[in-house]
Amino acid sequence: MYSPAYAKNFTDEELKDFIRQNGFAILVNTVDGKLWATHIPLILSADNKLVGHISRGNKQARELKPSEEVMVIFSGSHTYISSSWYDHENVPTWNYMAVHVYGKPRIIEGEELLDSLRHLTDKYEKNSEHPVSVDKMSKKYVETEMRGIVGLEISIDRMEASFKLSQNRDEKNHANIISELEKRGDENSGAVAAQMRKYGIAKKEKPS
């Protein structure tokens, strides 16, 4: 994953927190010798594994082998940055946040798969007015639905990230970008502005 030096200085815990907050991912491997991607929600387990499931009818399901690495892409807020916001001539760019995870998959079944469905449903139902839960569904219905999916757990062998948030700008231009983003009023621009405030600008090393 390409990332400029100023956009990749983050701790593993920061990256895991990003995954928790941006759980809709892209699972990538090869199927019949060609790249294949599936968009799925994944949760980060207590023992730092990615857990989820895909349709049994998805060709990708039969190519998930414990000996072969997969890549999982997590994307966060992103937005266009106009170079008209700078006090000097420059080109436009795009600010974004993304994490790539590489690891090997393991198929999960039975109670292990059922438990993963509980956690996934509970996570996204918690803010619903009338939340549903796996445990409130009939046993027969859940068992029927489970036959149509393949559960998986993916180890986190390494992570790469790019949080490109104009950290390479000086304080004046950095502040102006934030101001212009906040004027837009859309969700992505506001979220990127908030992250820019959080991470600030890159520290310049003093000559020795």
pLDDT digits (tens, 9 = 90+) for 55-73: 999 999 999 999 999 999 9
Q: What SS3 state is found at 128? A: coil
The fold adopted by the segment(s) 5-197 is Pnp Oxidase; Chain A (2.30.110)
pLDDT band of residue 9 (cuts 50, 70, 90) is confident
Mean model confidence pLDDT for the chain: 94
- Rounded CA-CA distance 105/70 in Å is 7
Question: In the sheet that 34-41 helps form, which strands lie side by side, from edge to edge?
Answer: 34-41, 24-31, 70-81, 93-103, 158-164
Q: Is the pLDDT of residue 119 over 60?
A: yes
Task: Supply the pLDDT for residue 206.
Answer: 42
Mean pLDDT, range 151-158, rounded to an integer:
97
For the chain, percent of residues with pLDDT exceeding 90: 92
Sign of torsion over alpha carbons 121, 127, 128, 130: positive
Task: Supply the pLDDT for residue 68.
Answer: 94
- Rounded CA-CA distance 85/180 in Å is 7
Task: Supply the pLDDT for residue 202.
Answer: 85
Q: Which residue has the higher pLDDT, 202 or 171?
A: 171
pLDDT band of residue 208 (cuts 50, 70, 90) is very low
Q: What SS3 state is found at 78? A: strand
- 60 CB-near residues (< 8 Å, 6+ apart): 27, 29, 31, 36, 38, 54
Task: Supply the pLDDT for residue 204.
Answer: 60
Q: Is the pLDDT of residue 171 over 70?
A: yes
Q: Is the pLDDT of residue 161 over 80?
A: yes
pTM attached to this predicted model: 0.92
Mean pLDDT, range 101-112, rounded to an integer:
97
